[in-house]
Amino acid sequence: MGIIEIYDLYFKHKPEDDYLLKGLNLEVKEGEILALIGQSGCGKSTLLSIICGIIPHIRRGCIEGQVKLMGEEVKNIKIKDIAKRVGIVFQDPDSQIFLPTVEDEIAFGPENLMVPREEIGHRIQRALKAVRMEAYRYENPNNLSGGQKQLIALASILAMEPSIFLFDEIMAQLDEEARRQVKKIMLDLNKAGKTIIFVEHDTGALDLAHRVLELKDGVLRELKGW
Ligand SMILES: Nc1ncnc2c1ncn2[C@@H]1O[C@H](COP(=O)(O)OP(=O)(O)OP(=O)(O)O)[C@@H](O)[C@H]1O
Ligand SMILES: [Mg+2]
């Protein structure tokens, strides 16, 4: 059994649209690092939103087929329980960051998961250290650069300690050094048994992946030879 399983998924955002995903299948094994590539607008972010239950729990759309996390259909799992299993870092950090300090931002997820206060403190420290942003703990995220906000968004998901991480082009706004650090975080997560799906346009990141999948014409195709 895969940790993520998708069978014959059809999806469109609006009834009047053509289908964006057309009979898509995917099985991801626990501990895999998977890269997802494809042209702009082909549906990569949409697919990640479906895997983490944003669609259909928060945003609607026309969806058919099965999407399972750890053997259970996402549509039947409560949002709170999905958040324990899968964390997503969005393409645009502004859509993820909304609290007045970096510390509040990182504490928000674990607080909602009812993690004890002392443990939340440890998680904030660990997450900030991982993204090398310890110096910004009491800053207002609005004063940070796009790349720094992306690192804080990443830290806030690290602090939730899910089993599956979805990263949607999180390297795009980062400088070379921060990119290296994020790659290291991904490898460390993977060593700890975590499963990762990442979307990147920059082919320089693809060497991390165990498998590279291309989304095209609404289905996934594995690219060999990476
Ligand atoms: N909330 C929404 N409502 C309606 N249409 C949407 C919505 N979100 C995305 N779309 C449309 O669905 C298609 C796929 O968008 P999506 O963001 O999933 O593509 P993508 O592969 O992630 O693109 P990019 O590489 O530019 O990030 C696009 O045509 C987009 O305009
Ligand atoms: Mg996208």
Half-sphere exposure of 190 (CA within 13 A, CB side): 18
Residue with the smallest CA separation from ligand 1 atom 13 is 41
CA distance 66 to 7: 5
Ligand 1 cavity residues, CB under 6 Å: 13-14, 20, 38, 40-46, 59, 91
CA distance to 104, 122, 164, 187, 198, per residue, from 190 (Å) = 27, 21, 10, 5, 12
CA distance 58 to 48: 13
State in Å: Cα 115 to ligand 1 middle: 34
State in Å: Cα 43 to ligand 1 middle: 6
Residue of 11, 13, 197 to test ligand 1 pocket, by largest number of atoms within 8 Å of CB = 13
Q: What is the pLDDT of residue 226?
A: 61
- Atom in ligand 1 nearest the alpha carbon of residue 201: 25
CA distance 67 to 73: 6
**Phi, psi angles (nearest 5°) of residue 182:** -65, -40
Residue of 16, 46, 220 to test ligand 1 pocket, by largest number of atoms within 8 Å of CB = 46
Sign of CA dihedral 182, 185, 190, 191: positive
Ligand in closest contact with the CA of 90? 2
Sequence-ordered list of residues with C-beta below 8 angstroms from that of 158, at least 6 positions apart, any chain? 87, 123, 126, 127, 130, 131, 185, 189
Beta-strand relationship, 21-28 and 4-12: antiparallel
Fold assignment, 31-59+72-223: Rossmann fold (3.40.50)
* pLDDT averages per 10-residue partition of the chain, 226 residues: 97 97 98 97 98 96 98 97 97 93 97 97 98 98 96 98 98 94 97 97 89 98 82
Residue with the smallest CA separation from ligand 1 atom 5 is 13
Whether the pTM exceeds 0.85: the reply is yes
State in Å: Cα 44 to ligand 1 middle: 8
Domain boundaries, the chain: 31-59+72-223
State in Å: Cα 102 to ligand 1 middle: 29
State in Å: Cα 47 to ligand 1 middle: 10
